[in-house]
Structure 1
Amino acid sequence: MKNKIYDIVIIGGGPGGIGCAIESAAHKIGEILLIEKTDNHSNTIRKFYKDNKRVDKDYKGQVITLQGNVDFFDGTKETTLDYFNDLLDNEKIDSIFNTEVEKIIRNQETDLLEVHTSKGLIQTKNAIIAIGKMGKPNKPDYKIPPSIKSQVGFNLDRCSSNEKILVVGGGNSAAEYAYHLADQKNNVTLVYRKVTFTRLNDLNEDILNKYNGEEKLRLRMNTDIESVENEEGKAKVTFTDGYSVIYDRIIYAIGGTTPVDFLKNCAVDYDEDLKPIFDEHQETSAKDVYVAGDIAFASGGSIAIALNHGYNIVNNILRKRGNIFAFTENVLE
C-alpha cells in the first residue's frame, strides 16, 4: 500500500462510507480503498441495532430523494446489512478491516495526502472521513463506580431476562432498547430528562405509550439522574426528584460524540459545538479531505442523507478534475 497512490481513501465502513465507495466505483473514479477499524462494515448497525430493528429510509419523517446510485429502501437491520453486502461485493470495493487510522497529513513535496494507519502509510489524492459517532457513545457526567461497571452498558450485549433495568435516553435507540427488554420479561424503566419525547419516530412513541399503559414498562419523564452508587453489588440510582431506586442493570442510549482529537490530527477545523466545518460539497478546511455520514450531522441523521453525501463528494471531485460527466446519476450497470 505504501507505494500505491489511491484516488480516494474512505475512512469508515458505515452507510456514509459505503455510499462514497459505491459512487466512486460507479463513476470509475480510479483506485478506491475503504478502511474500517472493526472486522466488518456497518459496525454501528451490527452492534447498536437490536435484531429485526426497523430501518427507515425517511428517518424521523425526513423525506429524502436519493441522488446517486444506491437505491436504499425501508427494511430491517438484517435486510440493510444484506443490501450493503451485495453492493460492496458487486462493485468489488478494495477494503481493509481491523485497521485504525491515526491521522491524515499532506505531504508538501508530493502534494498527496498521507493516511497513517495501524498497518502502515497510505497515499491518496482525496480522503473521506466517514466515521460514526455511536462507536464512541456519550457517557454521563456523573461517575460510575468501577465496581459495578459490568452492570452498566451502552447496548444490549450483556442483557438477558428477569432483571430490573433502567434505560437512559429519549431517542429511538433508547425506546427500542426499552420495549425489547420488556419483551424479554425484564422489569424496565425508561428515564428521560424532558417532559415529552422530541426525537422519536411515531411507531416507537406509540409502542412506548402502549407498553407504559399496559404496565409492561414504566416511563419516568422530566427526570434526570443525580448519581449512581454501588449498593451491595447493584446500581443504586438517585434521581433529581429525590428518589433512589436499585437496579440490576443500567443501559445508556444518549447518543455519540464527535471524535475531536481525530479531527485535529487531520487538520480539520471544527466549530464551538465540536462539529467539523465543511462546505456545501462536504469538503473540510483541509483541502481534499471530506466528511460523510454521522460525523457530518449536527444531531441524528438518516442513512439516505449519508448516502447522498457520497454522491455530492464524488461529484465535487469530478468537478475539480474538470470532468464533464459530473452530476451523472444512476450509472451503475
Structure 2
Amino acid sequence: MNIIYDIAIVGGGPGGIGTAVEAAVHGVENILLIDKADNHSSTIRKFYKANKRVDKDWKGQTIDIEGNIPFMDGTKETTLNFFDKLLDEEKIDTAFNTEVENIVKNEEEDIFLISTSTQSFRAKAVVITIGKMGKPNMPSYKIPPSIKEFINFNLDNCSMGEKILVVGGGNSAAEYAYELADEGNTVTLVYRKDEFTRLNPENEDILYQYNGQEKLRLRMNTDIKSLENEQGKVKVNFDDGYYTIYDRIIYAIGGTSPVDFLKKVGIEVDKEGKPIYDEHYRTNIPRLYVAGDIAFNTGGSIAAALNHGYHIVNSFLRRSGKIYSHTHKVEEFFKNNPEFRS
C-alpha cells in the first residue's frame, strides 16, 4: 500500500504481458502484473498440449505487430520461454497466486484501489486482461458425479487408444479432435449445427480430410440430451434417438466473459455481457482499460493482444499527468536488448 503504481494489470496472459512490457519500454517506472494463477500465461499452460503450434497470424488473419514486442510463430514451449524472457528483462512487479476481488476508484485521490483476499494495491491506471477460458462453458444437462473423471475441458489426462467424443464447433474443438486422432485415439466430433461457421479454413480442411479418410468421425446437426454411467464408461444419449459409449468426453464449447466481475467493478457491458470500450480500449471509467481475450468479440489472438497493450500504454502516456522520458528509455532498452527490436 506504500507504492502507488502507475499501471496495474489484472491478468497475466498475452494482453497483460504486452501492456506490462510496453509500459516498461516506454519508461513507466511502477508496474504491477497480477494473476490468480501461479505463473503468467495460464491459459497457454493449461489448455495447450505439449509442442502445440502457436501462430502469429491467427484464423487466417495477418496480424502486424504494432508495438515493440517481436512475436513470431513458435510452439507452446517457445512462446512461454519468450514471455519469460520479456518479463525477466523488465522491472515489473508481479503478484501471482493473487485473485482480485474488486477494483474501486477513489474519486477524491483519483486512484484505484485493487482489493484481493490478502492485500490491496493502489494504481493510477488499471488494465483488466482476464481471459474467457478461465470458466469454460458447461453443458445444460447434468454431468453425473460418478463419471466426472472422464469429462474434460482440455487435453489433460488424455491417453492413447481411447474412444473420445469432442463436443463443439470452434477451432479448439477441431484441434483437439484431429490431434487426438493423430495420437491413435478413436475420435468423434459432435456439433449441433449442420455446418461449421467459426472455423479457420485450415482447421476446416483438416477436419473434412480426416473425416473422409476415416481418421475421425464428424457427427453434425446433432446435440446431446443426457449422460449416464454405463459400467464405468460414459453413455451419451443423442437427440436423434441413438446412444454411444465413450471412454472420455472433451467439451470445447467456449468460455464466458466474467460479466459479474465487470459489473461489480462498474464497467458498462452490452446485452451479451461483453465490456464496452473505445478504440483505445478505454472503458466508461477513466484510466480503466480492457485488453486481451476479454476485449475480443470472438476468439483471442496473441499478436492482437500484444497490440492491445501497445495502444493502451500510448493512450495512458498521452493522458497521464506525469511526463515520461520514454524516447531515451526505448533506445536504452533496445541497446541492451537488440534481439527485441522488430
Q: TM-score range by the shorter chain?
A: over 0.9
| 1:134 equivalent in structure 2 | 133
| 1:186 equivalent in structure 2 | 185
Counterparts in 2 of 1:256 and 1:327: CA distance versus 1, 3 Å:
farther
Residue 6 in structure 1 maps to residue 9 in structure 2 = no
SS at match of 2:126: strand
Give the C-alpha shift of residue 129 in structure 1.
0.3
| 2:158 equivalent in structure 1 | 159
| 2:276 equivalent in structure 1 | 277
Contact map agreement 1:128 1:292 (CA 8 A) in 2: yes
Deviations 1:256-277 (A, max 9, x none): 1011121122111111000011
| 2:338 equivalent in structure 1 | none
Residue 317 in structure 1 maps to residue 316 in structure 2 = yes
Give the C-alpha shift of residue 64 in structure 1.
1.9
SS at match of 1:73: coil
1:284-323 aligned within 5 A: 284-321=283-320
Sequence identity (%): 65
SS at match of 1:190: strand
Contact map agreement 1:12 1:129 (CA 8 A) in 2: yes
| 2:34 equivalent in structure 1 | 35
- The 1-side partners of 2:257 and 2:29 are apart by 30
| 2:248 equivalent in structure 1 | 249
Counterparts in 2 of 1:324 and 1:128: CA distance versus 1, 3 Å:
closer
1:74-89 aligned within 5 A: 74-89=73-88
In the superposition, the TM-score normalised over structure 1's length comes to 0.94
Give the C-alpha shift of residue 329 in structure 1.
12
Residue 120 in structure 1 maps to residue 119 in structure 2 = yes
Counterparts in 2 of 1:330 and 1:192: CA distance versus 1, 3 Å:
farther
SS at match of 2:112: strand
Deviations 1:40-80 (A, max 9, x none): 11110111011121211111111222111111111111111
Contact map agreement 1:319 1:326 (CA 8 A) in 2: no
SS at match of 2:161: coil
- The 1-side partners of 2:97 and 2:200 are apart by 34
Contact map agreement 2:25 2:329 (CA 8 A) in 1: no
- The 2-side partners of 1:239 and 1:99 are apart by 41
Contact map agreement 2:269 2:275 (CA 8 A) in 1: yes
| 2:60 equivalent in structure 1 | 61
SS at match of 2:33: strand
- The 1-side partners of 2:217 and 2:327 are apart by 50
- The 2-side partners of 1:77 and 1:204 are apart by 18
- The 1-side partners of 2:58 and 2:47 are apart by 16
| 1:175 equivalent in structure 2 | 174
| 1:195 equivalent in structure 2 | 194
1:198-209 aligned within 5 A: 198-209=197-208
Give the C-alpha shift of residue 30 in structure 1.
2.3
- The 1-side partners of 2:209 and 2:51 are apart by 20
SS at match of 2:179: helix
The one-letter code sitting in structure 1 at the alignment partner of 2:61 is: Q
The one-letter code sitting in structure 2 at the alignment partner of 1:170 is: G
Residue 240 in structure 1 maps to residue 205 in structure 2 = no
- The 2-side partners of 1:327 and 1:73 are apart by 25
Deviations 1:265-314 (A, max 9, x none): 21111110000111111111222111000001111131111111111111
Contact map agreement 1:22 1:91 (CA 8 A) in 2: yes
Structure 1: stretches of 5+ with no match in the other structure: none
SS at match of 1:61: coil
Contact map agreement 1:315 1:326 (CA 8 A) in 2: no
- The 2-side partners of 1:268 and 1:252 are apart by 30
Instruction: Spell out structure 1 runs of 4+ moving beyond 3 A.
Output: 322-332
Structure 2: stretches of 5+ with no match in the other structure: 335-342
Give the C-alpha shift of residue 88 in structure 1.
0.8
SS at match of 2:177: helix
Contact map agreement 1:277 1:285 (CA 8 A) in 2: yes
Contact map agreement 1:8 1:127 (CA 8 A) in 2: yes
